[in-house]
Structure formats: structure tokens, C-alpha cells
Chain A
Amino acid sequence: MTDLILPLRSTGSSARKAFLAILWRDVFVTGKELWVLLIQVALTPLFMLFIFAKVLARQGFVSASYGHLLLPGIIALAAFLTALQSVAFPLVMEFGWTKEIEDRLLAPLPTTWVTVEKLVIATMRGLFAAAIMYPIGWLVLGTAPWRPEGIPLLIVVLLLGAWVGAGIGITLGTLITPAKISIMFGLILTPLMFTGATQYPWPTLDSLPWFKVITALNPLTYCAEGVRAAMVPDVPHIAPWICVVVLVASSAVFSVTGMLTFRRRAYR
């Protein structure tokens, strides 16, 4: 990664300008197509919330308090999934088909910085999705947990959760060709969504030890557990410091894999 260091000396300011410009491009395009993002990200969690916490609760299949357990999980899922999808799908198309990204790869900044920019914008989108999930959830359920002292932890775990999603999204988006995009959905996204402790608290899984292990391997679990620790600490949850440590470690791992696969794709 020599191209990370060299320009810092010689062309640092042009690289910084280029970084801000490509970030602004993505913010601009995201803003222009905000409704697409909203539909893409909000719909799945919204229906989940509606069916599990509203319909099933009304019918008496789940307790009325399940909504307060589910909403934090849904918020974590929205942050993670939005970050992942909103970077993975465009990357698959831009690298595999439209070649649109080439113009940004030809900007005077290191390729690694382009990856970092993608991480940043995807994380921002994830946080945005999490932020709108709260009022939407409140509207659906008619009530939502509110705990101001949990907000700092909430922000930290959501930020890290979105960052992990972004790293996974970049890795997938640069590994997968357009022809295999539906395989990605079925084989990777769905299992990720349902083994991430978003619909259930991890500590209560003792009766299903194998599933407890699988869930523990999914980074989304730590985001969901962290959000519950911040919003509904009465529900059993993994200790916040463990959540933060695991999330930091996974975001580091997936940032690096993303940088490597991105670079391999960008620089044949």
C-alpha cells in the first residue's frame, strides 16, 4: 500500500480535495435518490416490526412487550443492512457493468481512500436508516422505549454496526459479479439478517446451543445487543464493552478485507 503514504507528502492536498469531492458526489446522489434508499432500507424492517410486534401481539401469540425488545433489534438491523446493501449493490454494477466508478478511480487520490470514502458514505446511510427507524417504529407500535442516558452507547454501537455492514458490503460488492447478485441475496444476506439476534436476545438462547454459537459468530448480534443495552437494559443482553470490542474488531477486519478486494477489483 505504498500509494497510501506517498501522496501524503507529494500530493496530499489534492488527494484531500479529491476525497471530499467524491464524498460529496455520493452524498449528492444519495440525497437525490433518497426515496429509493428509504424504500430499500425501511421496508423489510418495517414489515418485520409490523408482523411480529403488532399483528402477532394483537393475536396474542407474542406478549405486548415484545415490541420493545424487537424495535432496538430492528434499528440495529436497519443500520447494518442499509450500510451493507447501499454500498454492495452499486459496487457490483459499477465495477461489473456500468464502469461508472472509473472516473473516481482516476481522481488524484489513492485507491484505498476511495474505499474509505465508500465506508464513510455507507456508514452515514446506515446511521440515517437507523435514525428514521425509531420514529417509524414508534408510529407502528404506538410506543417506543426512550432512555436518554443510553444515547452515547446507542450512537457508538450503531456507528460501529453500520461500519461493519459497510465493510462487508464493500467486500461482497467487489467480489461478486453482476450475474451472481441474486446468489448474494439468498446465500449471504438472508442468513445474516436472521442470525443477528435482532429478533431475540442472545443470552436467552441456552435451549438452542448450536444456534447460540452461530449467532455469536454474526457481528450484527453485537450491534443488536448493544442497542438493547442502550435502549432497554432490562432485557438480558451481552455486556456493552464486549459489544464494542467485537464491533471494533470486526469493523477493522472487514475494512481491511474491503480495501483488499476493492483494490484487486479496481487495479487489474
Chain B
Amino acid sequence: MADADGRTAVEVIELVKRYPKRDVNAVDGLTFAIREGEVFGLLGPNGAGKTTTVGILTTRIEATSGRAMLAGVDVLRNPVAARARLAVVPQRSNLDRSLTPRQNLTFHAAYHGVGRGERNERAATLLKQFGLEDQADVKVDWYSGGMAQRLMIARALIHEPQVLFLDEPTTGLDPQARLFVWDRIREMRERGVTILLTTHDMDEAAALTDRVGIIDHGKLLALDSPANLIKRLSGQSVLELTVTPAPGDGADALIAALVAADGVDKAERVAAAMPAFGPGNGFPGGFPGFGGGGPGAGAARPSAVATMVPGAAGPVRLRLYLTVEPATMLAPVVSLLATRSAELTDVHIGQPSLEDVFIELTGRGLR
């Protein structure tokens, strides 16, 4: 499955894992490939099988069936050669607590055959780069979760792996540390390291990955670039309007007119439950009637329900589901409203996010 734009670094074919004494497959016929130098995101709800997949690819979990290739090596047949080419930052700390942080790096490098002088040098450089220089020779037990996470990433880099596995590398990190880890990931990407990243942070996936695979119950549900996945939900880019219909014009009539417009898939009325601060008016933005001076400006405040009364002359909030880019619909909508003398007090463009894609594919149920 060599792609046109590069060689394959990781390939998983019909991979199945059933843990002993379990009656469902944790990984259930997974097939995907990661290009060399790519940052690949593996997303999925809790228990979807992400860690299991990483475990199989990193030779720590035995596959029930299927094939897994890594940097040209059959992971299941030749785990030793695979180990020499990969590194993994696990979901849970597995630092060697009998060693200092610095020794964690140097011993790890020694396991991977890095010579003494070289490994001491690399350890010093990495400790500095990861901001652990001052805490390099203390007890690992003294490390906070974020420091341990940074140390594990440094450890993963010291033997210069071709493929790097990061299992939820930023879970539990503060914003600074998260940005720091993001920068390191981008840096490795620039150096041509192939990265498989699992995460629950959709912004992280959108910001870092070239492509994401969304899995649930061990099965692949979607695989594409974040942008393409979002685009696929195109019917769901939305435009939210707060409008006061002209006297004599009803909200329903207005909706009918808007749906008739090209590019509008669907329109519905939503409760104007205290929306976000609007730009510039210094008052809750979509606050019904504000600025328009329409009737019931004050009376509408206690309850959004007031805006739901059919035929009421107060402002209403409408949501338009579009089949085109929301920005291109602004002008047509504004002119349509103008011809009906409706007053527009707030506009909000709702871009669907990767999270919407994720929820759409995996549902809202808790695992």
C-alpha cells in the first residue's frame, strides 16, 4: 500500500486482538497505513482500542490475528528488529524509579546500543531542551506528572527512533507544557520522524496531525485529514441569526423564506438561551431586542421562552444549516432579511469542528 506521496512507515492489516477471557475483540479487524514522516492521530472514545493498537505495534501485546508492519519490519514475526526502530511514550508512567532522571535517559540509550560518550551528551542536551536540567539528578519519585511526561518523551527520543508512539502525551499537562509538547512533536515531524499519536483533545488532533483515524469498538470509522473529515460534515456548517421580524411578519414565514434560499439546507428556531458576549455592544450579544429597541426588550430577559411564542413580535434566534461556506451566505441572507424589513441584531458563524465529526461518528453515549 505504498502511497504516491511517500513510503509507508506503519501498516496494520486486519488486526484483531481479543484479550483472554473477554468475549469481544478489543481491536476488531483494523486496517490502516501511516506514511513516512506523517503525524497520524488515533482518536476514539475510552476503551476504543487505541492503547491496545499501540501495544501491538510496539511489541508489547500479542495480536490474535492480522499483520503489523513497522519501518519495513514485520512486528509480529520480528519484534526485536521492530523495537530497535520504535519508541513509545505510554499512557501511564513507567520510568525506572531505581534510577535518576538522567540515568533513565542514559540507560535507555545503552539498551539501544548508543555508546557511552554519545549517550551522556544526548542526555544532557535533552534534559536541557526539556527544562529538566536542574532536576536531572534527583529521585524520579519527586517528579510531578508533567515532569515525568516530559522525561518520558525525552527518553523516547534519545535513541532516535524512526517511528514514535505517543499515547495521550498531553493528558494531564498544564497549557504551557502542552504547547511545549506540541512544539516538540512538530520538531520531530520536521526531522522526518513518523508519529502515531492518540489523544482525546480534538484541538490537539486538528493542530498537529496530518491525518486522523477515528476508531470505536476496535473498528476504524473514518480516516482522513482533519480538514477533509470536517468538510465531509458540510451540511452542518451553520449560521446563527438573531432577527426581529417586521411587524406583521411571523418567524415561521421568515424561516420558510430562508429555507427557500440557495445553499440553505434546513432552518430552525432555537431558544435564545443567553448567548455569548456579542462583539462591541458590551451586553450579552444576542440579548433579545437590545439595540433594536423593539417591544419587550426588558420583559424578554427573564426567560428565553418568551422568544419562542409563535407570532410574537420579539427577536428570534434562527439556525441555518448550510451546504456552502457560511461566509458566502451572509450577503444573500442579509438582503433577504432587508427585503422583509426584518431587523438583524446578531450573526454567528458556527464552523463544525473535529469534535462534531467525532461525536457524529461515535455517538454521545458514555463508555
**Which of B59, B98, B99, B110 has the most A CB atoms < 10 Å from its CB?**
B98
A-B contact pairs, 30 of them (CB 8 A): A3-B78, A3-B80, A6-B78, A6-B80, A7-B80, A11-B80, A11-B81, A13-B113, A15-B80, A18-B112, A18-B113, A25-B110, A98-B94, A99-B92, A99-B93, A100-B94, A100-B95, A100-B98, A102-B94, A103-B95, A103-B155, A104-B111, A107-B112, A108-B80, A108-B112, A108-B113, A110-B79, A266-B60, A267-B59, A267-B62
A149 at the interface (CB under 8 A from B): no
B235 at the interface (CB under 8 A from A): no
Q: Are B80 and A267 in contact (CB under 8 A)?
A: no
A139 at the interface (CB under 8 A from B): no
Q: Please name all residues of chain A whose beta carbon is closer than 8 Å to the beta carbon of B340 when the two chains form the complex.
A: none
Q: Please name all residues of chain A whose beta carbon is closer than 8 Å to the beta carbon of B113 when the two chains form the complex.
A: 13-14, 17-18, 21, 108
Q: With A and B bound together, what is the CA distance between A99 and B152 in angstroms?
A: 13
Query: Within the complex, which residue of A10, A98, A107 is in contact with B81, where a contact is CB–CB below 8 Å?
Result: A10
Q: With A and B bound together, what is the CA distance between A267 and B95 in angstroms?
A: 19
Q: Are A109 and B80 in contact (CB under 8 A)?
A: yes
Q: Are A29 and B98 in contact (CB under 8 A)?
A: yes
Query: Within the complex, which residue of A10, A17, A103, A111 is in contact with B96, where a contact is CB–CB below 8 Å?
Result: A103
Chain B nearest CB from A169 CB (Å) reads: 18
Query: Within the complex, which residue of B19, B93, B99 is in contact with A268, where a contact is CB–CB below 8 Å?
Result: B19
Q: Are B81 and A100 in contact (CB under 8 A)?
A: no
Q: Please name all residues of chain A whose beta carbon is closer than 8 Å to the beta carbon of B98 when the two chains form the complex.
A: 29, 32-33, 100
Q: With A and B bound together, what is the CA distance between A100 and B104 in angstroms?
A: 11
Chain B nearest CB from A25 CB (Å) reads: 5
Q: Would you give the 0/1 interface string for A247-268, flagging 1 where the beta carbon is closer than 8 Å to chain B?
A: 0000000000000000000111
Chain A nearest CB from B298 CB (Å) reads: 62
Q: Please name all residues of chain B whose beta carbon is closer than 8 Å to the beta carbon of A103 when the two chains form the complex.
A: 94-96, 104, 107-108, 111, 155
Chain A nearest CB from B25 CB (Å) reads: 14
Instruction: Name B's A-contacting residues (CB within 8 A).
Output: 19, 55, 58-62, 77-81, 83-84, 86-88, 90, 92-99, 104, 107-108, 110-113, 155
Instruction: Name A's B-contacting residues (CB within 8 A).
Output: 2-3, 6-7, 10-11, 13-15, 17-18, 21-22, 24-25, 29, 32-33, 98-100, 102-111, 266-268
Q: Which residue of B lies closest to A111 (CB)?
A: B79
Q: Are B80 and A29 in contact (CB under 8 A)?
A: no
Q: Are A102 and B111 in contact (CB under 8 A)?
A: no
Secondary structure call for the A interface: helix
Chain B nearest CB from A195 CB (Å) reads: 33
Q: Which residue of B lies closest to A17 (CB)?
A: B113
Q: Are B81 and A22 in contact (CB under 8 A)?
A: no
Query: Within the complex, which residue of A3, A11, A18, A32 is in contact with B111, where a contact is CB–CB below 8 Å?
Result: A18
Q: Which residue of A lies closest to B155 (CB)?
A: A103
Q: With A and B bound together, what is the CA distance between A122 and B324 in angstroms?
A: 69
Q: Please name all residues of chain A whose beta carbon is closer than 8 Å to the beta carbon of B79 when the two chains form the complex.
A: 3, 110-111
Q: Which residue of A lies closest to B19 (CB)?
A: A268
Q: Are A100 and B112 in contact (CB under 8 A)?
A: no
Q: Which residue of A lies closest to B78 (CB)?
A: A6
Q: Please name all residues of chain A whose beta carbon is closer than 8 Å to the beta carbon of B55 when the two chains form the complex.
A: 268
Q: Which residue of A lies closest to B83 (CB)?
A: A108
Q: Which residue of B lies closest to A26 (CB)?
A: B98
Contact A108 to B107, CB < 8 A, known contacts A98-B97, A100-B94: no
Q: Which residue of A lies closest to B82 (CB)?
A: A108
Q: With A and B bound together, what is the CA distance between A105 and B155 in angstroms?
A: 15
**Which of B55, B83, B104, B110 has the most A CB atoms < 10 Å from its CB?**
B83
Q: Are B84 and A102 in contact (CB under 8 A)?
A: no
Q: With A and B bound together, what is the CA distance between A7 and B113 in angstroms?
A: 15
Q: Please name all residues of chain B whose beta carbon is closer than 8 Å to the beta carbon of A7 when the two chains form the complex.
A: 78, 80-81
Q: With A and B bound together, what is the CA distance between A180 and B155 in angstroms?
A: 32
Q: What are the 9 A-B residue pairs with the smallest beta carbon separation, nearest first?
A: A107-B111, A108-B84, A99-B94, A21-B110, A7-B80, A102-B94, A17-B113, A29-B98, A108-B83
Additional A-B contact list (14), CB under 8 Å, known A6-B81, A17-B113, A106-B83? A6-B77, A6-B78, A18-B112, A24-B110, A25-B111, A32-B98, A100-B94, A102-B60, A106-B87, A107-B83, A108-B83, A108-B84, A108-B112, A266-B60
Chain B nearest CB from A152 CB (Å) reads: 35
Q: Which residue of A lies closest to B62 (CB)?
A: A267
Q: With A and B bound together, what is the CA distance between A3 and B62 in angstroms?
A: 13
